[in-house]
């Protein structure tokens, strides 16, 4: 990674994040391509979204971060309905756009490629794509994994034409179980939707297990905002919920997965993930579900000026940060309670 230690300090908020291209109100570490690459041991680990304490009566612009404050692992995980990866040049374009947005792992849907398999791309990325049904016209999900995570892959399985599973081993022995999903569209009946969610629940709860579970993709559902009595949908979202949204909420309640998008406040123009062909209607139908919401420091939609592959969907990117030492303590406490 190329790192220039130019620090932008904002007077409006005290968050710290890795911000390569956003014009945002954060304390940022600027990544400068003109600098020579640092050895991996010298690359500073900066917490994404850490909020420093503020003393009353003082206008605090920042603070010195100690080693205990810094996570040893931070990841950008994204989801995108690509609307076709039918050629190698399309994969090249997708990887180039993902690199611009600093995406470490991308869950992709509707690749429409005729061949399924795993490829070591000439860029060093791991490309894992599954087979679809109806001669490739339905489904085909998979993953694009950055080269620096290639050695962390412990399991990859195309569960079905609509569900793929990837497991990454992190420092400290913890694992992330990622699922790339593509739910049936409105052209399918309720039976197909129920079958999909039953299959997805089996994939989430079944082997291989993961310390953290992240389930990202195109759910083709209008979810809206959390309502009274709902524990896994947050207060932020595009207003309006349909029957497929209700089905998604019920799935989240059964699996105890939180819809991470709905816990981060964004203006409506920064929430929509899909537009109709005439660009008259804009909907939020791509979501990231997780059992580890505390690790999420941001979930946002990347605009077409920064990420554009010709799809009618926009990239949804989540930033997570993990402190292995702290997480080991949490897991030990959790397991001790279960034993008792």
217 and 255 in a single domain? The answer is yes
- Tell me what pLDDT residue 340 has: 53
51 and 168 in a single domain? The answer is no
13 and 82 in a single domain? The answer is no
CA distances from 315 to 19, 113, 125, 306 (A): 16, 20, 18, 10
86 and 1 in a single domain? The answer is no
Domain termination site, one of 70, 97, 129:
70
Please check whether residue 146 lies inside any domain of the structure. Answer: yes
Indicate whether 338 pLDDT > 70: no
Q: Is 276 left (phi over 0), alpha (psi -120 to 50) or beta?
A: beta
Give me the phi and psi of 200, to 5 degrees please: -65, -40
Domain termination site, one of 30, 45, 70:
70
55 and 121 in a single domain? The answer is no
> How many folded domains does the chain comprise?
2
For residue range 11-50, list pLDDT tens digits in order: 333 344 444 444 343 334 434 333 334 344 433 443 333 3
252 and 178 in a single domain? The answer is yes
195 and 212 in a single domain? The answer is yes
**Tokens (6 digits) for 49:** 């979204």
- Tell me what pLDDT residue 61 has: 38
64 and 93 in a single domain? The answer is no
Please check whether residue 246 lies inside any domain of the structure. Answer: yes
- Tell me what pLDDT residue 134 has: 57
CB 76 within 8 A of CB 103: yes
Nearest to 74 by CA among 51, 43, 53: 43
- Tell me what pLDDT residue 115 has: 78
Please check whether residue 130 lies inside any domain of the structure. Answer: yes
160 and 272 in a single domain? The answer is yes
Per the model's pLDDT, the better-predicted residue between 178 and 330 turns out to be 178
Q: Is 51 left (phi over 0), alpha (psi -120 to 50) or beta?
A: beta
Domain termination site, one of 45, 70, 95:
70
Structural domain including 268 reads 75-327
- Tell me what pLDDT residue 172 has: 73
Can you give the CATH number for the domain in which 285 is found?
Answer: 3.60.10.10
190 and 220 in a single domain? The answer is yes
Indicate whether 6 pLDDT > 60: no
For residues 218 and 118, give the distance between their C-alpha atoms in angstroms, rounded to a whole number: 22
Instruction: Give the DSSP letter string of 152-213.
Output: GEEEEEE-SSSEEEEEEEPGGG-EEEEEEEE---TTS-HHHHHHHHHHHHHHHHSSSP-SEE
66 and 79 in a single domain? The answer is no
What mean pLDDT do residues 282-307 have? 95
Instruction: Give the DSSP letter string of 69-130.
Output: GS-SEEEEEEEEE-S---SHHHHHHHHHHHHHTT-SEEEEE----S--EEEE-TTS-EEEE-
Please check whether residue 108 lies inside any domain of the structure. Answer: yes
Indicate whether 302 pLDDT > 90: yes
- pLDDT tier at 333 (50, 70, 90 boundaries)? low
Please check whether residue 339 lies inside any domain of the structure. Answer: no
34 and 172 in a single domain? The answer is no
Indicate whether 246 pLDDT > 90: yes
Per the model's pLDDT, the better-predicted residue between 164 and 63 turns out to be 164
- Tell me what pLDDT residue 142 has: 95
For residue range 171-208, list pLDDT tens digits in order: 777 899 999 999 999 899 999 999 999 999 999 999 99
Please check whether residue 338 lies inside any domain of the structure. Answer: no
- Tell me what pLDDT residue 149 has: 94
For residue range 46-101, list pLDDT tens digits in order: 333 333 333 443 433 334 444 445 556 789 999 999 998 888 999 999 999 999 99
Please check whether residue 332 lies inside any domain of the structure. Answer: no
């Amino acid at each position: 990674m190329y790192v220039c230690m130019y620090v932008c300090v904002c007077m409006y908020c005290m968050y710290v994040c890795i911000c390569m291209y956003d014009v945002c109100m954060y304390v940022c570490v600027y990544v400068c391509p003109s600098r020579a690459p640092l050895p991996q041991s010298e690359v500073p680990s900066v917490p994404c979204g850490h909020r420093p304490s503020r003393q009353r009566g003082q206008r605090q612009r920042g603070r010195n971060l100690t080693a205990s404050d810094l996570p040893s692992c931070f990841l950008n995980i994204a989801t995108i309905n690509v609307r076709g990866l039918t050629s190698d040049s399309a994969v090249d374009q997708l990887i180039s756009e993902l690199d611009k947005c600093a995406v470490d792992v991308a869950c992709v849907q509707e690749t429409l490629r005729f061949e399924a398999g795993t490829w070591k791309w000439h860029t060093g990325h791991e490309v894992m794509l599954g087979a679809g049904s109806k001669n490739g016209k339905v489904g085909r999900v998979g993953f694009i994994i950055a080269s620096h995570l290639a050695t962390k892959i412990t399991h990859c399985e195309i569960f079905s034409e609509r569900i793929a599973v990837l497991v990454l081993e992190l420092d400290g022995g913890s694992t992330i179980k990622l699922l790339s999903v593509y739910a049936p569209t409105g052209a399918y009946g309720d039976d197909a939707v129920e079958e999909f969610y039953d299959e997805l629940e089996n994939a989430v709860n079944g082997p291989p297990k993961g310390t953290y579970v992240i389930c990202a993709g195109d759910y083709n559902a209008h979810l809206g905002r959390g309502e009274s009595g709902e524990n896994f949908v947050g207060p932020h979202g595009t207003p309006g919920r349909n029957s497929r949204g209700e089905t998604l909420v019920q799935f989240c309640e059964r699996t105890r997965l939180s819809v991470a998008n709905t816990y981060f406040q964004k203006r409506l123009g920064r929430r929509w993930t899909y537009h109709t062909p005439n660009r008259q209607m804009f909907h939020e139908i791509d979501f990231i579900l997780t059992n580890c919401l505390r690790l999420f420091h941001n979930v946002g939609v990347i605009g077409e000026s920064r990420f554009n592959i010709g799809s009618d969907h926009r990239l949804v990117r989540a930033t997570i940060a993990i402190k292995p030492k702290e997480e080991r303590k949490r897991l030990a406490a959790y397991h001790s309670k279960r034993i008792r």
